[in-house]
Amino acid sequence: MATQHSRSAARLMISPAVLLLLGWMIVPLAMTVWFSFLNYNLLQPGPRTFAGFSNYYYFLTDPAFFTAIWNTLVLVLGVLAITTVGGVLLALLLDQPMWGQGIVRILVIAPFFVMPTVSALVWKNMFMNPVNGIFAWIAEALGLQPFDFLSQAPLFSIILIVAWQWLPFATLILLTALQSLDSEQMEAAEMDGASALARFFYITIPHLTRSITVVILIQTIFLLGVFAEILVTTNGGPGTASTNLTYLVYGQSLLQYDVGGGSAGGIVAVILANIVAIFLMRMIGKNLEN
Amino acid sequence: MARRVTPARKATVTAAAWALGLLIFFPILWTILTSFKSEGDAVAIPPKFLFFDWTLENYAVVNQRSDYLLHFWNSVVISFGSTFAGLLIAIPAAWAMAFVPGRKTKDVLMWMLSTKMMPSVGVLVPIYLLFRNTGLLDTRIGLVIILTLIDLPIIVWMLYTYFKEIPGEILEAARMDGAGLRDEIIHVLTPMAVPGIASTLLLNVILAWNEAFWTLNLTAAKAAPLTAFIASYSSPEGLFYAKLSAASTMAIAPILILGWFSQKQLVRGLTFGAVK
Amino acid sequence: MGKISLKQVTKSFGDVTVIPALDLDIEDGEFVVFVGPSGCGKSTLLRLIAGLEDVSSGAIEIDGVNATEAPPSKRRLAMVFQSYALYPHMTVRKNIAFPLKMAGIAPDEQERKVQAAAKVLNLTNYLDRKPGQLSGGQRQRVAIGRAIVREPAAFLFDEPLSNLDAALRVNMRLEITELHHSLKTTMVYVTHDQVEAMTMADKIVVLNAGRIEQVGSPLDLYRSPRNLFVAGFIGSPRMNLLTGPSAAAHGATTIGVRPEHLTLSRSEGLWPGRVTVSEHLGSDTFLHVNAGDLGTLTVRADGEVDARHGDSVFLTPQTGKIHRFDADGKAMA
């Protein structure tokens, strides 16, 4: 539909966005790469010397690094498992005829709008606190010993908090997808003699695959960068029990002021994220084709 | 689907859905309830659900600390500022990509999305140092710049999917009717695009309001928005559940209300139009 | 005035040539229909004339003035789109007035013209509605109204009836033809439906793969198609095409006989066969006859003919109504 005139106008209109994002990608990233090869600590004045790969060496051989990678994986996969399975089940339930569906929907979606620092603090103090928390009260009421969630199972607790924030997102998207399922398709399957279970596996699930993919992709982007929840609840501890990669790099750079080491960690995080991203982009790309 | 659902089944489903819905909502409800309690009632065991002395004292206390209003205002400025700046840059770009698609358009869109996948922590150090050296640290303008950049891909994508739905023939009709580019944008495109732009704005304000990596790392006392202000309650001393709840309620209430309005757009916005 | 000339116009998208060099003259006041199968380039050609696409080479003249580089808004052409392309946020009144507003015409003059157009198109009672509240036919009329108020040099129609149901289509066909009679403005009309082409056009341009196969009046094309493509495309039901010995007997590679030029007999005739399907339309009966080696022939018979599946019949082509084509598919004199 385009004429030569509109084509050049189009290029002009796209360029600010492209240039800004290009700058945003290249400049800081190049600086991170540069810093990662320097001995550069904000607490140590004096000349910054070339460090070679030593920053990488220290970062990658630090036992905390492996813990962080493991924790990141557990966190992402744990939350993904809870939210997708829970999301499918909840969406199926909410798709049934009921009274007050609109209100239930609103109740379910609400946690998504709570800022991470608030949800982390509320869970930490009012639910998981071993003395005053609701969970402690429930445990005592049942005659059990109160459980100190954040010191005894810190990563699990954080997974629980983050999953609470993201379950609404998964549910809402899957519910939307369910509602777009053509009812004639269901009726045709019924006419063809498919049982409710068969309809679920042969029609509902394939129909949801695309949305489930999307849920996984988008959540992964956000879950790889979980930060505030850890900062507010455990500070990555006890020890490094709940430190993920993001938090590790943050600690290295802004708590220990080790710019070189933090940058090396940042680059490692970027590389790992890119490996994940390549898979994600392929899948999104495929999704966009149809 | 004109089929009869037995009342018993409907009642069961309703009960289950409401129970689960309330369970999921409970932490928020509890926060709101606690915000009206005295500090003593707030930590009472067994917990007091509805029968306590309702008080607005916590809100008064939190508000008296004038810095609460400052942080609230910071959140407003940062989330709306970054969203408006993002829209200003993204509208022309999305317009061009939707209506004058070239062979590279899909690639550019995918590339924009890929910038979103770069972990923030990978560029934390240089951004922190750049901000420190240019005096942008702990300023609202600094955060507006950063949030504009990180939200730009989402804004472009959302607008793109909305603009895509405006049939190209209508714009061509306007051209045939003698409208130049300016008239086309003012009289035809803008009125048709306003609903999409409004939902994009809404969703982005929500995302920016709740953003908690850059706001925590690049602000201190002066420009800290509510995310960072609330985080300051995490230190164990001086922890008051009722006041924490009051502050939290005020921090999430505006966005909770906006969010409920934007449910439908939320899905398509966050899935880049892949789910509608 | 609305004379449009295309001179050696070509259009390529990247490496794909959609329209090889093409010359065409559209006279002032003519109703010209571009017809052809989907993908033949007819819509592209219309959009080139409209200025919605750039020509790759060649020139487009409107009333003798070179308009090749002119933007759509400066060509004094009005277009009716397949999807109608009404502005959904404007009332019918504002939709029709939009081109007038763009031309900077005074509001009271706009209103007068809108009223006049609405009267012609039976839209007077709907002026304050929005397009979403109108039926398909009414939307179509609004689109036409928006085109006529500008008093353009020529109207361009891009498959305007394809979204309407069959009955409405016949009505709108008549309305557009009447409109042409009263306005006497040049109209260029794109369709894939040869019935629309035959019934509306002064001049039909048959396009195939971006090339003009034949230009002529509907009856010219019907009587003397220049090649096999036009022969097969114009006329409904399609012309029967025969190859082999029966064609060789006429000194041709292929011969064609229209269904209405076959005489049906129960007892004797040139080509024997059996009825496979008979379609009773009331006014006519179309019989599909399996004629052995000749393949399936279609014959148009009287409406009252009572033929059934399996009946044995004989078909004879009327003298002088046989079209002969050579090995290249070109009509032979």
Report pLDDT digits (tens) over A23-66: 988 888 898 888 888 888 877 777 777 878 888 888 888 888 89
Residues of chain A with pLDDT > 90: what percent?
19
End-to-end CA distance of chain B: 21
| Longest CA–CA separation in chain B, Å | 75
Q: Are strands C254-257 and C240-243 parallel, antiparallel or unpaired?
A: antiparallel
**Nearest CA to CA, how far is C171 from chain B (Å)?**
24
| Pair B146, B211: CB distance under 8 Å | no
Q: Compute the count of residue pairs across chains B and C with CB atoms less than 8 Å apart.
A: 65
The DSSP call for residue B231 is H
Residue in chain A closest to B250 (alpha carbons) equals A118
Tell me phi and psi for residue A204, to 5 degrees: -65, -50
**Nearest CA to CA, how far is A214 from chain C (Å)?**
32
- Hey, is C203 helix, strand or coil? strand
Q: How does pLDDT run across C188-234, given as a tens digit for each residue?
A: 999 999 899 999 999 999 999 889 999 999 999 999 999 999 999 99
Check CB contact under 8 Å for A4 and C54.
Answer: yes
**Nearest CA to CA, how far is A33 from chain B (Å)?**
9
The CATH topology of domain A52-289 is MetI-like fold (1.10.3720)
Which residue reads 């005592």 in tokens?
A140
Residue A243, pLDDT > 70, answer yes
Q: Up-side HSE of residue C8: CA atoms within 13 Å toward CB?
A: 2
**Nearest CA to CA, how far is A5 from chain C (Å)?**
9
Q: Looking at residue B235, what is its pLDDT?
A: 65
Question: What residues contact A24, with CB distance under 8 A and at least 6 apart?
Answer: B115, B149
Task: State how far Cα C31 lies from the chain centre.
Answer: 10
Residues of chain C with C-beta less than 8 angstroms from the C-beta of B169 = 81-83, 85
Of B167, B175, B187, the CB nearest to C73: B175
The domain locations on chain A are 1-36, 52-289
Q: Looking at residue A1, what is its pLDDT?
A: 44
- CATH topology agreement for domains C4-230 and C239-325: no
Sign of CA dihedral A122, A127, A129, A134: positive
Chain A within 8 Å of B134 (Cβ-Cβ)?
no
| Pair C36, C233: CB distance under 8 Å | yes
Rounded to whole angstroms, the Cα distance separating A174 from B270 reads 13
Rounded to whole angstroms, the Cα distance separating A262 from A38 reads 11
Check CB contact under 8 Å for C73 and B192.
Answer: no
| Pair B202, B258: CB distance under 8 Å | yes
Q: Looking at residue C245, what is its pLDDT?
A: 87
ipTM, 2 decimals?
0.85
The domain locations on chain B are 7-59, 63-270
The CATH topology of domain B63-270 is MetI-like fold (1.10.3720)
Residues of chain A with C-beta less than 8 angstroms from the C-beta of B200 = none
Rounded to whole angstroms, the Cα distance separating A15 from B139 reads 28
Q: Compute the count of residue pairs across chains A and B with CB atoms less than 8 Å apart.
A: 307
| Pair C23, C30: CB distance under 8 Å | no
Show the tokens assigned to C103. 């031309």
Residues of chain C with C-beta less than 8 angstroms from the C-beta of A6 = none
Tell me phi and psi for residue C45, to 5 degrees: -60, -45
Chain A within 8 Å of B244 (Cβ-Cβ)?
yes
C147, C150, C153, C154: CA torsion to nearest 10: 0
Residue A288, pLDDT > 70, answer no
The domain locations on chain C are 4-230, 239-325
The CATH topology of domain C4-230 is Rossmann fold (3.40.50)
For A38, the enclosing helix (H) or strand (E) is strand A38-39
Chain C within 8 Å of A1 (Cβ-Cβ)?
yes
Residue in chain C closest to B193 (alpha carbons) equals C89
Q: Up-side HSE of residue C37: CA atoms within 13 Å toward CB?
A: 7
Residues of chain A with C-beta less than 8 angstroms from the C-beta of B100 = 1-2, 6-7, 9-10
Question: Which positions of chain C have pLDDT values less than 70?
Answer: none
Kindly write down the DSSP assignment for every residue of A138-182, as one continuous string: HHHHTT-----HHHHSHHHHHHHHHHHHHHHHHHHHHHHHHHTS-
B117, B122, B125, B129: CA torsion to nearest 10: -40
Check CB contact under 8 Å for B117 and A24.
Answer: no
Q: According to CATH, what is the number of the domain C239-325?
A: 2.40.50.140
Rounded to whole angstroms, the Cα distance separating B157 from B160 reads 5
pLDDT in tens, chain B (276 residues): 446 678 888 888 899 999 999 999 999 999 999 889 887 777 777 777 777 778 888 888 887 776 788 888 999 999 999 999 999 999 989 988 888 888 888 888 888 877 877 788 888 888 888 898 898 888 899 999 999 998 898 899 888 888 888 888 888 888 888 888 788 888 888 888 888 888 888 888 988 998 888 888 888 878 888 888 888 776 654 567 888 888 889 889 888 888 877 777 777 677 766 666
Rounded to whole angstroms, the Cα distance separating A259 from A272 reads 20
Q: Looking at residue B1, what is its pLDDT?
A: 45
Residues of chain C with C-beta less than 8 angstroms from the C-beta of A3 = 51-54, 71
Of B169, B170, B180, the CB nearest to C73: B180
| Longest CA–CA separation in chain C, Å | 75
Chain A within 8 Å of C53 (Cβ-Cβ)?
yes
Of B100, B216, B274, the CB nearest to A287: B274
